[in-house]
Amino acid sequence: MMQQNLIDPALRTTLAGVPMVSPVLTASGTCGYGPEYAELLDYRRLGGFTTKSVTRHERPGNNPERIVETRAGLLNAIGLANVGVERFIAEKIPFIERMPTSVWVNVAGYDISDYTFVIERLDEHACIAGFELNVSCPNVKDGLMFGTDPRLLREVVAAARAASKRHPMIVKLSPNVTDIADLARAAIDGGADALSLINTYVGLSINAETWKPNIANVTGGLSGPAIKPLALFNVHRVYREVAQKANIPILGMGGIQTTSDAVEFLLAGATAVAVGTALFVDPTIPQKIAAELPAYLSKRGLSHVSELVGRFAFAK
Amino acid sequence: MATNISNNPSRALHDGGQPSRVVASVRVLDVRKPCREHVWVEFDARSLPASEPGQFLQVVCAPDAAIPDHAVDWTEGRLPQLSGVDWQGRTPQVRRPFSIADRWTAADGGDRAAIISRAIGPGTRWLDNLQPGAMLSITGPLGVGFAIPPIGRPLVLIGGGVGIPPFLYLARRLLELGHRDLTLIFGVQSRDLMPIEVVASPAPDGAASACLRLPSGDAPPAIVTTDDGSLGLRGRVTDALAAWLKQRGESGRAALVYACGPEPMLHAVARQTRAESLECQLCIERLMGCGLGTCLSCIVQTPCARSAAGWRWTLSCSSGPVFDRDALIEFAH
């Protein structure tokens, strides 16, 4: 009975064929592997959970400092610190099996075989809803390559697609490109079932007293409310130029903190949204948004959240 | 309004048991300035799960919280509410960690807790101006607190400046548990920066006396050091520990030393306790984004046998903030 009350039919939707009780997910790299928020965030209300990136080998990550606050944002360079796929299977999968939501495993790598290796190792696990390909981590050497070159991107997505026999594939795109629509097209050509928009913007923070960078990696990825208008634009552009025609759903993210933020991403063309950096401050935000969305829908005379997707009135 | 949800943590994964941590909005009951730069913020802790000395809280230090607790007002035709909007973008983006400075049951039976803040930036300055009755958003209790040995062992609590607060709570707990052999060594720059009550003039030669009164009302033996000699012993906390060891003689060799304070002080105490073969626990602070083990920024090097380098990064928010001295590479050698 409790379970019934958690699910509002107006919010039920799907992402890449995966059913969701709400269109609000958590974004990779801001929610660990699951146990970290288990006591705070009600996973039953989530449309899905996206893990921290998993790579072929364990990675210690960058030296400190790894984050710095900026005006309206957070700059980070963690360096894909993660346990590696074998420890992920041994130590994290048992918890994920118990999580009452769809769990997307974010996969990162340096060459195509890194991606296919991780996906092949994980593909047999039915507790995984699918994969999110991180082709755009800006904080590791050459990490941007796949995400900025349409030909390479298509190649890595196709190889990853072929490596999974049973799971859908989301491709998370970088905004650090001239025209994100070209990359979206390449990802879809490669076989992407959905697109995550966007990863962080490359940024720099300098200490005017020491003349040194504020994070050890020098550059980092900017997230938080500072990038929300930029993220909205990218969602809008990809939806109008590519995704709508191709019937490929968009998972929108970038600075989402409130229900209003989430609605704006849906209006721009996202099918679902993910909360990222804001989880650091309040891990309960996704369930708050999921709880507030039905009231917004009924106030606007809408019966289902899908009626918001791509509906913003942008014609001049 | 969905505000209450944050006080109803997920039970989906821990089978109806009490959560060990919550995101909660708590009412501020008292705000005092115990000395020139510190502020004591006391709040109603009924929604805070059981805590241990050394654990910390993550506090939103911004007007109306860094993140609005509710959706925008959808009323058509109404201008958006702009008061409190930070046009300079100086609002802290993440919470700030504070040691639990004390937790106790008030005379009226209420569950109370406090943090002590020193105003150094926009967030802590905001805390400085809090008024009783205001609401404070906290996450906690978080982290691993101090390990407490069986009764009888001599315990030395060394706090330097902003590192003093966790020891007010620890001293209360130790006394409650029946520990009687404890000594406080509190060091500050000068007299007007001592964040607790001075009830008698501390000895200038580093002798322990009942010169400080804890918020609990207890006054265990204490040695005070100041950089300028304006209170107690002129010198460092390590000078005080040396004086204490000399005075205690052989019985001091079994002491467990707890320390919290600025990095140079922690290094000095680590060196001294290692040289004296004393066991030591350090409460450290690293730049922290979440306190929950997800932002991966508050890292420290810890020994790791299966790593080729012999160490690995460990999160101070979830494996600390209290560590055995020898579990931290930078303090162990």
**Residue A296 to residues A136, A250, A261, A282: CA-CA distances in angstroms?**
34, 21, 12, 21
Does residue B179 carry a pLDDT above 60? yes
Q: Is B18 on the interface with A (CB under 8 A)?
A: no
- Give how far A286 is from chain B: nearest CA, Å: 11
Cβ separation of B295 and A72 shorter than 8 Å? no
Instruction: Identify the pLDDT of residue B12.
Output: 43
Q: How far apart are CA A91 and CA A85, in angstroms?
A: 10
Q: Are B143 and B55 in contact (CB under 8 A)?
A: yes
Share of chain B above pLDDT 90, in %: 77
Q: Which of residues 48-77 of B touch A (CB under 8 A)?
A: 60, 65-68, 70-72, 74
Q: Is A301 on the interface with B (CB under 8 A)?
A: no
Please say if A137 is a catalytic residue.
yes
Choose the closest CB to A74 out of B72, B94, B307.
Answer: B94
Burial tier of A274 (Cβ tally within 10 Å: 0-12, 13-18, 19+): buried
Containing H/E element for A268? helix A259-268
Containing H/E element for A259? helix A259-268
Q: Is A38 on the interface with B (CB under 8 A)?
A: yes
pLDDT digit string, tens, across residues A75-85: 999 999 999 99
| Range of weakest confidence among A124-128, A312-316, B101-105 | A312-316
Instruction: Identify the pLDDT of residue B14.
Output: 46
Does residue A286 carry a pLDDT above 90? yes
pLDDT digit string, tens, across residues B199-228: 999 999 989 999 999 999 999 999 999 999
Instruction: Identify the pLDDT of residue A315.
Output: 75
Q: Which single residue is written with the structure tokens 């000399």? A: B246
For A135-257, strand residue ranges (E) read 169-172, 194-197, 201-204, 219-223, 250-253
Q: Which single residue is written with the structure tokens 């900026």? A: A70
Mean pLDDT of B178-184: 97
Q: What angle do CA A26, A28, A33 make, to 5 degrees?
A: 85
A223, two tokens: 């997230």
Between A137 and A90, the higher pLDDT residue: A90
pLDDT digit string, tens, across residues A148-188: 999 999 999 999 999 999 999 999 999 999 999 999 999 99
Nearest alpha carbon to residue A50 among A149, A196, A268, A250: A196
Beta bridge partners of B116: B40
Q: Which of residues 97-116 of B touch A (CB under 8 A)?
A: none
Q: Which of residues 156-175 of B touch A (CB under 8 A)?
A: none
Q: Which of residues 234-273 of A touch B (CB under 8 A)?
A: 257-260
Ramachandran region of residue A168, left (φ > 0), alpha (ψ -120 to 50) or beta?
A: beta
Residue in B with minimal Cα distance to A282: B23
Into how many domains does chain A fold? 1
pLDDT digit string, tens, across residues B66-79: 444 444 444 566 65
Instruction: Identify the pLDDT of residue A246.
Output: 98
Q: How many CA atoms lie within 13 A of A175 on its CB side?
A: 25
Contacts with A98 from chain B: Cβ below 8 Å: 13
Burial tier of A5 (Cβ tally within 10 Å: 0-12, 13-18, 19+): exposed
Residue B5: pLDDT band (50, 70, 90) is very low
Among A103, A137, A171, A309, the active-site one is A137
Which domain covers residue A33, as residue numbers? 4-314
Instruction: Identify the pLDDT of residue B1.
Output: 28
Contacts with A77 from chain B: Cβ below 8 Å: none
Instruction: Identify the pLDDT of residue B10.
Output: 42
Cβ separation of A285 and B287 shorter than 8 Å? no
Nearest alpha carbon to residue B259 among B126, B153, B166, B332: B166
pLDDT digit string, tens, across residues B16-68: 578 999 999 999 999 999 888 899 999 999 999 999 999 999 999 876 444 44
Does residue A2 carry a pLDDT above 50? no
CA dihedral B255, B261, B267, B269 (to 10 degrees): -20
Please state at what angle helix A180-190 crosses helix A228-238, rounded to 10 degrees.
50
Average pLDDT score, chain B: 88
- DSSP letter assigned to residue A21: S
Instruction: Identify the pLDDT of residue B71.
Output: 41
Cβ separation of A72 and B299 shorter than 8 Å? no
Choose the closest CB to B94 out of A69, A284, A292.
Answer: A69
Does residue B2 carry a pLDDT above 50? no
What CATH code is carried by the domain that includes residue A197? 3.20.20.70
Contacts with A259 from chain B: Cβ below 8 Å: 71-72
Residue A54: pLDDT band (50, 70, 90) is very high
Choose the closest CB to A66 out of B12, B90, B297.
Answer: B297
Choose the closest CB to B289 out of A74, A81, A257.
Answer: A74
Helices (H), chain B: 122-128, 165-177, 237-248, 263-275, 329-332
Q: What angle do CA B209, B211, B213 make, to 5 degrees?
A: 125
Please state at what angle helix A180-190 crosses helix A150-163, rounded to 10 degrees.
30
Q: How far apart are CA B74 and CA A296, in angstroms?
A: 8
Nearest alpha carbon to residue A164 among A135, A196, A121: A121
Choose the closest CB to B67 out of A42, A78, A285.
Answer: A285
- Give how far A282 is from chain B: nearest CA, Å: 7
